[in-house]
Structure 1
Amino acid sequence: MGSEKVPVFAQVDLDVAPGEFVAIVGESGVGKSTLLNCLAGLDTPSAGSVQVLGTDLGALPEGPQAHFRRRHLGFVFQAFHVLPHLSVAQNVALPLMLLGVPRAQQLQRVAEELAAVGLGDLGERLPQQLSGGQLQRVALARALVHRPALILADEPTGNLDPDTAERVMQLLAAQTRQHGAACVMVTHSRAAAAHADRVLRLTATGMRPEPAHG
């Protein structure tokens, strides 16, 4: 009995449309980050499948799966994950560099995305010269610069004060919809979840809609 495997969660059925923003809430330890990892193809579910743009991520070999992830997914994390030795503009350009986008197009896309998140004049700065809110906007620009089909956000406001968190969430929601991307965010924050088109609660036995004032 001691070695019996217990599922983290089961019976999860999620369909997210282009331009739709879905927030997933739930108790600590229920597997919200694990669910995001499954959606990204970083973890493989023991049953079922994950399909993005009609492609079954679990069926792809490691190399093609990594390329698919780079091309079609964007990630925003609580801890920002910017590279300290690169400038703001270089951090944002990373997805385009990995995809082999021509340099001139990189520069144009990075400039457009930094302007969109309100950092148009900070491209040459290093991450240590920015505030937490600015760093999260860098991370958001980096997640969107290659026009992904799916954005995965893991507690994107967890390290931010309430006012800064509100500004970041407004940007995340607006940019997701503007680019026609699907966005799945896991969060403990009701204020962050309020920006989503749908809020779902993850439990060990599946997901259900979260009541607006529940």
Structure 2
Amino acid sequence: MTLVIHNLSKRYGDTPVFSQVNLRVEPGEFIAIVGESGVGKSSLLNCMAALDDWSEGTITHDGVDLGTLGEVQRAHWRREKLGFVFQAFHVLPHLDVAQNVGLPLLLLKRPDPARVAQMLAAVGLDGLGERLPAQLSGGQLQRVAIARALVHRPSLLLADEPTGNLDPSTAAQVMGVLQQQAADSGAALVLVTHSEAAAARAQRVLQLTATGCH
């Protein structure tokens, strides 16, 4: 399930966010995107997730041109094909850990407690399924986010500064879990990061600048 980005540009009015980005991500590949603050890394990732629109170019995943999809079709594509790990975790505080992780399966009408338990064990949270997010550390919350992003076996995993709120030791542990679980599931992983240590784990590191991705 290859992701192909061709001549992608995004503008707000006359102000460019990024320009002429070309990128090909093969199944199972791990790519890190780095760059100065303000060059549009998170905006690019949001376009890859079909959460934001773009001004020019195309994004194609498994032969599907995401730009031709309506909002409902994009939402269905994200549910089926995409996992997203956010810097701010975005767990739901009123749901326990197992419910948070199982949410993508519930949205797909495929509830699977055994799969949820498997993912919790895989990210080192075995036995914590009944805890509320407020009872967890930052590193544990990010592990919940990773498990939730991968529980439905997506083919594409996007991660936006997943270690940005963590101390270096916890960040290294979380990156290890993220990389291992993506590899185990066969998902392509695109990571946006300021962390040199996180980027160094990738198979390819691309620099996003005002003139594109190199």
TM-score, with length taken from structure 2: 0.92
Instruction: Tell me the alpha carbon deviations over residues 21-79 of structure 1, each in whole angstroms, 9 at most, x when there is no partner.
Output: 11000000000000001101111211111111211111011111111111110010111
* 1:200 pairs with 2:206: yes
Higher relative contact order (CA 8 A, sep 6+): 1
* CA–CA distance in structure 2, aligned partners of residues 138 and 75 of structure 1: 12
Q: Which position in structure 1 is the counterpart of 2:86?
A: 77
Query: Alpha-carbon deviation of 1:6?
Result: 2.9
Number of aligned residue pairs = 203
Query: Alpha-carbon deviation of 1:114?
Result: 0.4
* CA–CA distance in structure 2, aligned partners of residues 145 and 4 of structure 1: 38
Pick the aligned partner of 1:49 from 58, 81, 88.
58
Q: Which runs of 5+ in 2 are unaligned?
A: 1-11
* CA–CA distance in structure 2, aligned partners of residues 161 and 6 of structure 1: 35
Equivalent residues in 2 for 1:48-127 (5 A)?
Answer: 48-101=57-110, 103=111, 106-127=112-133
* 1:149 pairs with 2:158: no
* 1:20 pairs with 2:29: yes
The residue type paired with residue 144 of structure 1 is: L
Q: Which position in structure 1 is the counterpart of 2:7?
A: none
* CA–CA distance in structure 1, aligned partners of residues 99 and 31 of structure 2: 29
Give percent identity, aligned residues only.
Answer: 68
Change (3 A) 1:132 1:8: same
TM-score, with length taken from structure 1: 0.92
Q: Which position in structure 1 is the counterpart of 2:40?
A: 31
Contact 1:114/1:120 (CA < 8 Å) preserved in 2? yes
* CA–CA distance in structure 1, aligned partners of residues 72 and 85 of structure 2: 22
* CA–CA distance in structure 2, aligned partners of residues 178 and 72 of structure 1: 16
* CA–CA distance in structure 1, aligned partners of residues 116 and 80 of structure 2: 16
Q: Which position in structure 2 is the counterpart of 1:140?
A: 146
4+ long deviations beyond 2 Å: none
The residue type paired with residue 60 of structure 1 is: L
Secondary structure, counterpart of 2:15 in structure 1: coil
Instruction: Tell me the alpha carbon deviations over residues 77-112 of structure 1, each in whole angstroms, 9 at most, x when there is no partner.
Output: 1110001110000000000000000x4xx1011011
Secondary structure, counterpart of 2:58 in structure 1: coil
* CA–CA distance in structure 1, aligned partners of residues 155 and 68 of structure 2: 19
Contact 1:72/1:148 (CA < 8 Å) preserved in 2? yes
Secondary structure, counterpart of 2:154 in structure 1: coil
Contact 1:19/1:178 (CA < 8 Å) preserved in 2? no
Query: Alpha-carbon deviation of 1:195?
Result: 1.2
